[in-house]
Structure 1
Amino acid sequence: MRVELMKSMNRHYVLEMMYISKDGTISKRRIEVLQVGEVSFRVYCYLRKSNRTFTIDNVLALVPVIPSERMVI
């Protein structure tokens, strides 16, 4: 999971993340990774509109958000 976080940080990808908190609550968030450490990582969370810190081991899934392109003909 750490490798995927590093790649998205270096490429400035926005990700959809499924995360389980300490109390067992599962949340889905749209994030942009700012910094990756050994056990945690800092992100900008679009849900809360602020910087947040998460534990890498609690991440259930990461999926890159692909911006839709519109073609005008």
Structure 2
Amino acid sequence: MKEQLIKAMQRNQIIDLIYMSKGGKITKRRVKIIKMTDGIFQDYCFVKHAKRTFIIENVLATSSVFRKENVVV
């Protein structure tokens, strides 16, 4: 999981992640990773509209967010 998070940060990607809090609550977040340190990462959470800190071990799944381009024909 850590490798996927590092790639998303290096590519400046927005990702969806499934996260389990310390209390066991599972949430889905859309985030952009700002920085990573030993076992944690800081990001901007689009759900909470604020910077948040997450524990890498508690990330259950990730997926890239692809934006559709508006095309005028």
Common topology (TM > 0.5): yes
Name the CA distance, whole Å, in 1 between partners of 2:2 and 2:65: 18
Q: How does 1:42-57 map to 2 (within 5 A)?
A: 42-57=42-57
- The 8 Å contact of residues 17 and 29 in structure 1, kept in 2 or not, is answered as yes
Runs of 4+ more than 4 Å apart? none
Amino acid at match of 2:72: V
Structure 1 position 10, deviation (Å):
1.1
Name the CA distance, whole Å, in 2 between partners of 1:51 and 1:69: 27
Gaps of 5+ in 2: none
Gaps of 5+ in 1: none
Name the CA distance, whole Å, in 1 between partners of 2:49 and 2:71: 30
- The 8 Å contact of residues 9 and 34 in structure 1, kept in 2 or not, is answered as yes
Name the CA distance, whole Å, in 2 between partners of 1:63 and 1:38: 22
Structure 1 position 36, deviation (Å):
1.1
Equivalent pairs counted in the alignment come to 73
After superposition, give the CA deviation of every residue in 1:13-54 in whole Å (9 maximum; x if it has no partner): 000010000111000010000011121110000111111000
Amino acid at match of 2:65: V
Aligned to 1:11: 11
- The 8 Å contact of residues 15 and 62 in structure 1, kept in 2 or not, is answered as yes
Identity of aligned residues (%): 37
